[in-house]
Amino acid sequence: MTSLKQPFLSVDALHKAFVLHGQGGMTLEVMRDLSLTLSPGECLVLAGPSGIGKSTLLKMLHGSYRVTAGRLTLHFEDGDLSLEALPAHAWHTLRRDVIGYVSQFLRVVPRVPAVEVVMEPLLARGVDEAEARLRAEAMLARLNLPERLWNLSPGTFSGGEQQRVNIARGFIAEHPLLLLDEPTASLDAANREVVVGLIEEAKARGAALLGIFHDEDVRERVADRLLPLTPHMGANVVTAQPATEEMRR
Ligand SMILES: Nc1ncnc2c1ncn2[C@@H]1O[C@H](COP(=O)(O)OP(=O)(O)OP(=O)(O)O)[C@@H](O)[C@H]1O
């Protein structure tokens, strides 16, 4: 990957509307005219009331929701990359190498042990299996996941244990852009501390972080800037516009 520019991410006049197929094709407008920039080494925290569109923004930046209108751009030294209309194979490479995402919940794949869940992003990048395993074990140990759980599938783990597997998987590959959707929500104080440390290290190595943290203490410690989403950008206005193909999802 080539080096990152200042800013690394820009969001311009972003608009998101969902079409509610189960409700006669009604349109739910979630975001209107949102713009922001994010630089390497910086953590920008999204704030604002429940339902305003914070997770939706992260999902658009991770390619799981489509952009209705506006621009999402990554700036590299050798050129810009627009994310609004990327084909699926390009998203695959981008998620492997550039954009990491830690959601609130782990997507459990039956019978895959915790340590392998954490190794997987490194293996995908071609890291040798023995090295990937060592790094995954070190990350799980750092997050205080008991060693007896490392070789079990996380399906039966507690919420906090699953979340720690998720965090280990999200941070291990040291993506240049990290999207954090309430990564500390189910953690105790000691593990919240570990996550704050991981975020500080990510910033120190030049990663750009965009996060949602409901825990005020964590938020104040990690945020370089706060962006409160306001109803102007996130009024949930239900209108009866006809659904267009681009608005679907
Ligand atoms: N796939 C979807 N289809 C339809 N509506 C959706 C979809 N995803 C999100 N929404 C709606 O978009 C709005 C914003 O949701 P979002 O999860 O982004 O809010 P949030 O600010 O992250 O809230 P919270 O702080 O409660 O997690 C909500 O009204 C939600 O119902």
Q: Whose CA is nearest to atom 24 of ligand 1?
A: 50
What residue spans of 143-188 are helical by DSSP H? Answer: 159-172
Question: How would residue 2 be classed by pLDDT, with cut points 50, 70 and 90?
Answer: low
Does position 73 have pLDDT exceeding 60, yes or no? yes
In a domain, 12, yes or no: no
**pLDDT band for position 230 (cuts 50, 70, 90):** confident
Asked if residue 163 belongs to a domain, the reply is: yes
Q: Does some domain include residue 14?
A: no
Q: Is the CB of 207 under 6 A from ligand 1?
A: no
- What size, in residues, is the chain? 249
Widest CA span in the chain:
56
Provide the pLDDT for residue 246. 41
Residue 76 lies in a domain: no
| Residue 248 pLDDT class (50, 70, 90 cuts) | very low
Closest CA to 2 of 80, 63, 62: 80
Q: Please state the ipTM of this predicted complex.
A: 0.96
Here the tokens at position 36 are: 């922001």
Average pLDDT over residues 200-206: 97
Please state, as a whole number, how many other Cβ atoms lie within 10 Å of the Cβ of residue 176: 21
- Whole-angstrom CA distances from 43 to 209, 217, 243 are 4, 15, 36
Structural domain span for residue 117: 39-68+85-229
For the Cβ of 30 lying below 6 angstroms from any atom of ligand 1, the answer is yes
* Nearest atom of ligand 1 to the alpha carbon of 57: 18
In a domain? residue 238: no
Ligand 1 binding pocket includes 234 (Cβ within 6 Å): no
Ligand 1 centroid to 83 CA: how many Å? Answer: 21
29 inside domain:
no
**Cβ of 100 below 6 Å from ligand 1:** no
Q: In the structure encoding, which two tokens stand for residue 97, read together?
A: 């190498």
Question: With pLDDT > 90 as the criterion, what percentage of the chain qualifies?
Answer: 77
Residue 113 domain-assigned? yes
219 found inside a domain: yes
Quote the number of domains for the chain.
Answer: 1
Model confidence pLDDT, tens digit, residues 91-146: 999 999 999 999 888 787 888 999 999 999 999 999 999 999 999 999 999 999 99
Q: Is residue 56 within 6 Å of ligand 1 at its C-beta?
A: yes
What's the CATH code of the domain at 90?
3.40.50.300
Q: Kindly give the distance from the C-alpha atom of residue 95 to the centroid of ligand 1, in angstroms, as a whole number.
A: 22
List the structure tokens of 212.
């949602």
Closest ligand 1 atom, CA of 234?
14
Instruction: Write the pLDDT tens digit of every residue in 162-202.
Output: 999 999 999 999 999 999 999 998 899 999 999 999 999 99
